[in-house]
A and B are shown apart, each in its own frame.
Chain A
Amino acid sequence: MTSQSKPLGLWPLVATVVLLAMPYVLSTYHLGLVVQMMIFALFAMSLDLLIGYTGMPSLGHTAYFGISAYTTALLALRLNLNAWLALPAGLVLAALTASLFGLLALRTRGSYFLMITLALSQVVWGIAFGWRSLTGGDDGLPDVPRPALGLHLPWSLADSTPFYYFTLLLVAVATFLLVGIVTSPFGYALRGIRESETRMLALGYNVWRYKLTAFVLAALFAGLAGSLYAYYNRFVSPDYLNVARSAEVLLMVILGGAGTLIGPAVGAVLIVFLENVISAYTERWLLALGVIYVVVSLFAPSGLIGLLRHIRSRRATP
């Protein structure tokens, strides 16, 4: 890791205890908020893999969030498939789409890559919006059943506490995997690619293959977040795929601090929180969000984690 990372100490333990205890302390409404925070934390971390670790400015990441959501929802709704099939199916479709889009987009870099990834994801939005017979179009897919596990358990995932633990489990496993990826040789290679592609090539790394793999991996995790969100909301619509969603997840990554995994997770928590608070007082959430974007882009491009490190280093060298 870079010179700035330090051992996390007791924080993971504290976080685990707190998260496990949530259903006993929070109301159903607030518990639902925490579920959303976890889902979007996962979504943001998946994008961080691309933006923060590999240096690939992907603007269309919500395509995989949405495709997995729609796939899972459709399979659960129309074919009554249980979660063991519907959820992985969503991931598979997300991965396939990412492979296709990656093949197309990875021939470009920088701002051009930005545009192409956004355009591709907006085409997916357009298809979801226009293909009424399949996706319900603008009306979306209501009444998505909560995940059926096919097991005879004393509680139902239709209730908020069991679903909370279900989400917590999946997000925790996914986070564990993500941490494993970024600390592995593969994760190191991604960072090398971010810092200098030409050097990586000179050292013998097949950079293109690493980038495509990262692209598909990131899509898998985004897809998991999307399917979870579909199950949570019991509703999927083209809003899962719109520009606002693409922008929002980017903000979460940058606000939190790209390249740290925890930064984007914190960013997601913050944005979900803010959205709920601001929406309660005004309809102008989009306007407020826009202002936040402008402010963050101008004054905090390294995000909260960057700010924290800056403060810590200023304190260390008086």
Chain B
Amino acid sequence: MTALTINNLSRHFGGLQAVSNVSFTVEVGERRLMIGPNGAGKTTLFNMLAGALPVSAGRVVLFGRDITLLPAYARARMGIARTFQITNLFPRLTVRDNLVLALLAAENAVRSRHRPVSANHSLMHHATRLLDKWDLSAIAGKDAKDIAYGEQRQIDLVLALAAQPKILLLDEPTAGLSAAEVVRVVGMIRSLPRDITILMIEHDMDVAFELADRVSVLHQGHLIAEGDVEAIRNHPQVREIYLGVDDE
């Protein structure tokens, strides 16, 4: 079953064509990795999928519904969650409050709308459980701006997961992390259930090939290759544009 389809998606900024006619389909539960050199248009594409950037041309279809003109917040309510390439937390709120905000967005109970948040015990417990699950309880009370970079990237991910999304858009989740931290985050991603579809931008080839079911390769705004890990690893054009890919 198809989760996400994009048709001839394009985006230009003035004279600069950032994304040109990209089309692909992602199945439910698939782990699709998007790779490509800097400036290939990966984050621009992401922003169009998330609704943070309007498209210049093309369509985005989510679970059969055309969401091309839907604003970002409406897409989030439909089950799209995203992380950010540059850390985007709520800096002066505690880690717990960061999570609370993510959970409140998904909360539907009208009753709780007028009561103080701190009195909403089920919500607060939910937040605590989430932090426990990912082993992050120690930093719950710290302001988001005061935690380590590696922890920030993890919280970035947990925030996206809080609303139990159907589609997860991960923008370079391992960027800037130490080797140990990368292992941690990859572990987190790998442990996610298969009812979540994951579309992920990644620069680290090892991580990308480790997690991917299929890989899409972008170069200068064009989709130049798509296939399973083996196919991409051996793809001549891909090897050409990527210097330093391991020859195995």
Contact = CB atoms under 8 A, between A and B. Distances in A.
A and B touch in the complex (CB under 8 A): yes
Interface of A: 1-3, 180, 183-189, 191-192, 195-196, 198-207
B127 to A, nearest CB: 12
Is the contact region of chain A dominated by helix, strand, or loop, or is it mixed?
A: helix
Given A2-B97, A188-B101, A205-B105, A199 B89 contact: yes
Contact of B73 (A3, A186, A191, A204): A204
A257 to B, nearest CB: 13
Interface in B14-73: 50-52, 71-73
Contact of A202 (B50, B116, B143): B50
Interface in B186-243: none
A3 B147 CA distance: 13
Interface of B: 50-52, 71-74, 76-77, 81-82, 84, 88-94, 97, 100-102, 104-107, 112-118, 120, 141-143, 159-160, 163
B113 A185 contact: yes
Given A1-B118, A192-B101, A204-B105, 20 more contacts: A2-B94, A2-B143, A3-B143, A184-B117, A185-B112, A185-B113, A186-B113, A187-B117, A191-B90, A192-B90, A195-B90, A196-B91, A201-B51, A201-B76, A202-B50, A202-B76, A203-B81, A203-B102, A203-B163, A204-B106
B52 A201 contact: yes
A207 B159 CA distance: 17
B87 to A, nearest CB: 10
Contact of B82 (A1, A186, A196, A202): A202
A186 to B, nearest CB: 7
B88 A199 contact: yes
A199 B143 contact: no
Question: Max chain B CB contacts within 10 Å: which of A1, A186, A203, A206?
Answer: A203
Give the top 8 A-B pairs by smallest Cβ distance, nearest first: A204-B76, A195-B90, A183-B116, A204-B105, A201-B72, A203-B105, A192-B101, A204-B77
Contacts of B115: 184
Contacts, number: 96
Nearest to A187: B117
Given A185-B112, A204-B106, A192 B93 contact: yes
A205 B104 CA distance: 10
Contacts of A201: 51-52, 71-73, 76
A201 B160 CA distance: 12
Nearest to B115: A184
A16 to B, nearest CB: 20
Given A191-B93, A196-B88, A3 B142 contact: yes
Nearest to B104: A185
A123 to B, nearest CB: 31
A207 B73 CA distance: 8
A19 to B, nearest CB: 24
B35 to A, nearest CB: 23
Contacts of B52: 198, 201-202
A203 B81 CA distance: 7
A189 B117 CA distance: 11
A204 B81 CA distance: 9
Contacts of A202: 50, 52, 72-73, 76, 81-82, 84, 88, 160
A94 B141 CA distance: 39
Contacts of A199: 84, 88-90, 159
A202 B50 CA distance: 8
A184 B113 contact: yes
Contacts of B105: 203-205
Contacts of A188: 97, 100-101, 104, 117
A240 B208 CA distance: 63
A184 B90 contact: no
Contacts of B77: 204
Contacts of B160: 202
26 contacts: A2-B92, A3-B141, A3-B142, A183-B118, A184-B117, A185-B120, A186-B113, A187-B117, A188-B117, A189-B104, A191-B90, A192-B90, A192-B93, A195-B91, A195-B92, A199-B89, A200-B73, A200-B101, A201-B51, A201-B52, A202-B82, A203-B73, A203-B76, A203-B105, A204-B77, A204-B163
